[in-house]
Amino acid sequence: MSSPVTAAPVAKKVPQERTHHGDTFVDDYEWLRDKNDPEVIAYLEAENAYTTAATEHLGPLREAIFGEIKSRTQETDLSVPSRMGQWWYYSRSFEGKQYGVHCRCPIDSPDDWTPPVLSADVDIPGEQVLIDGNELAEGHDFLSLGAMSVTRDGTMLAYSVDTKGDERYTLRFKNLETGELLDDEIPGIGAGATWSLDGTHVFYVTVDEAWRPDTVWRHELGTERSADVQVFHEPDERFWVDFDLTRSEKYLAIVIGSKITSEVHYLESSDPEGEFTVVWPREEGVEYGIEHAVVGGEDRFLILHNGVVDGVKAENFTLVDTPVGDPTDQRTLIAHRADARLEYIAAFAGHLVVGYRREALTRLAVWPLTESGYGELRELEFNEELYSVGAGSTPEWHSPLLRLGFTSFITPIRVYDYEIASGALLLRKETPVLGGYEPADYEQHRDWAVAADGTRIPISIVRKTGVADPAGPAPLLLYGYGSYEASIDPEFSVSRLSLLDRGMVFAVAHVRGGGEMGRHWYDTGKMLSKKNTFTDFVSCARHLVDTGHTTPQQMIADGGSAGGLLMGAVANLAPELFAGIITNVPFVDPLTSILDPSLPLTIIEWGEWGNPLADKDVYDYMRSYSPYENVGAHDYPAILAITGLNDTRVLYVEPAKWVAKLRDTKTGDSSLLLKTEMTAGHAGVSGRYERWREVAFEYAWILDTAGV
């Protein structure tokens, strides 16, 4: 017999007043912020115990779903190798092992461009293990691999690891000729590391107390960290710093950006101790990035920017090229278009790759470089209604092949090589799905909802063939995000099959605040237009009910991080539309966070939400939608909130406070659960089996709540 469900924990109230712009808010649960307080940990553990007891009856379903994910996954497998220098690089996975193993094997000849067909269960001649994640994870509950960067000559490896989930990495160096780990060790840095061309120096970034990447350092191999040179520091707290390398490897780049403004400094990689030069001085509201190309024998910078061209703001970006060292001498290559958002440019010795977005789908084009300049741009075409395509790993500047990745809701990830000379698309691998998966058994399509202001909102829908219409309403999981211009593109999921095969429909509401429909789509879902994100999601949900896809009693809403803000707002705005809401690391107390400049990333975030400290209009607007402040005494759907104690992006205290207030305020008897991963951060648990178990936990709750 199962044990009885214990009573829900009740958090004590410690009223604290917060006053801004004449408005006073009494926060009863701010005391939960101190994770060093044993009483806080005890409360979180009590919530975990309650969640465990309340979901105990789902144990068999969780085990069944975990078994399905495992049985469909080819556990011992390897990726398609990518050539760099004299080696093929790839990763391997092994049955029973949580983490991947990164390896390489030698090329056969300088003209060897076709990736070898390697067998996962056969010894590979000349194979060398670079990093074994399972060895790095020994003695740790969490592991995240940040940098994994090899010198151009292939002799040295720089790699970084985070074993807490707080996104503070330790950088180490390995001699790949001897297997020896060097004494050089640099803790407390950001994830990345970039080598100079000669492999004598490595560049890395550190963060300030607010977790803002703000300083670039240069480390000379074999020296103490105390001798590292500060290359660049960004004092403006609105900006963060990154470090990059052009595809040609000829130029190093310091990339500085805020939410609306950017600046790039460059230096020849062969001169790592030289001085960086600004490409374009920052101009408020103008974002840009650079790539290096050789056109007609001349070094040129390709600059993707959204500045003003001929008196008109290039909202969806334009592409120009300039001589290196003279950014004022511009030539427009791709003009701004209202219906296509330029997203990236990658340069090779003989061609360019252009990534862009049109009609809420990713697009890819190849643009040959000729002796006289630019040839004819060719867009690659695919025959599915919904799909995602993007450039993959092609490290070699002179490669005659371009690596691509392709997937859809019903097509497992495919790896292609595009042959530049012939235009042939060569399939190298399709991710295996065991157990007899047939794409024809599933269907995907695009639908459109209409928002209150008349805007058409795209909805992506995937289901098992024959489910729902014309059979009638079906249980449905509606996912949304809608922030930071992030796009939720079609992607295959092995685990999602456990929902689809049980008759559940999966849908994505491509709400404003995301980037699916271009920069305007983002701009009309942020700052003082943020509520469009929430009302768009509600419009999509109502459309799915009105068109017979589902009913409120069968629909679950899902979103995480900034999508968790969406979930919290929707719970207040239209609780009657959903049977349940599930949210991971939810940003449900945004006003408290954005009012505190000392918290991680807050000042940077002012470019997304506005500055409520300085602007009463922003304060009032955020106060009107913030989920925590607007919890009301009415019936809510069942809610499951999941967080990580070591999260530095959305602190665990936000969902903890939200659940505490909901439990004290809401009416009705719907389930309200909080689950805190005590050794994880923003990305959740690590290790593939632990991730599968977490997915099984969430899916079991979703299916049970939807009445499946």
Catalytic machinery residues: 561, 647, 682
Residue 197 CA to residue 88 CA, distance in Å, equals 19
What tokens were used for 675?
């689950």
Strand-pairing partners, residue 512, are: 514
What is d(CA 420, CA 405) in angstroms, rounded to the nearest whole number? 16
Q: How far is CA 673 from the centre of its chain?
A: 25
**Sign of dihedral through CA atoms 97, 103, 105, 107?**
positive
Q: Cα separation of 39 and 43, whole Å?
A: 6
Handedness of CA 361, 309, 251, 235 (dihedral sign): negative
Give the span between the Cα atoms of 487 and 650, in whole angstroms.
20
Q: Is 422 exposed, middle or buried (0-12, 13-18, 19+ CB in 10 A)?
A: exposed
Q: Is 139 left (phi over 0), alpha (psi -120 to 50) or beta?
A: left
Give Cβ neighbours of residue 117 (< 8 Å, ≥ 6 apart).
none
Is 101:128 a contact under the CB 8 Å cutoff? Answer: no
Q: Residue 192 is encoded by which pair of tokens? A: 């990345």
Among 462, 548, 541, 544, CA closest to 497:
462
Q: Are strands 672-677 and 638-644 parallel, antiparallel or unpaired?
A: parallel
Distance of alpha carbon 14 from alpha carbon 20, whole angstroms? 20
What is the residue-wise DSSP string for 417-463? EEETTT--EEEEEE--BTTT--GGGEEEEEEEEE-TTS-EEEEEEEE
Residue pair 636/40 in contact by the 8 Å Cβ criterion: no
Distance separating alpha carbons of residues 397 and 416, to the nearest angstrom: 18
Q: Which residues contact 567 (CB under 8 A, 6 or more apart)?
A: 480, 557, 558, 559, 581, 582, 583, 586, 588, 627
Segment (H or E) for 61: helix 59-72
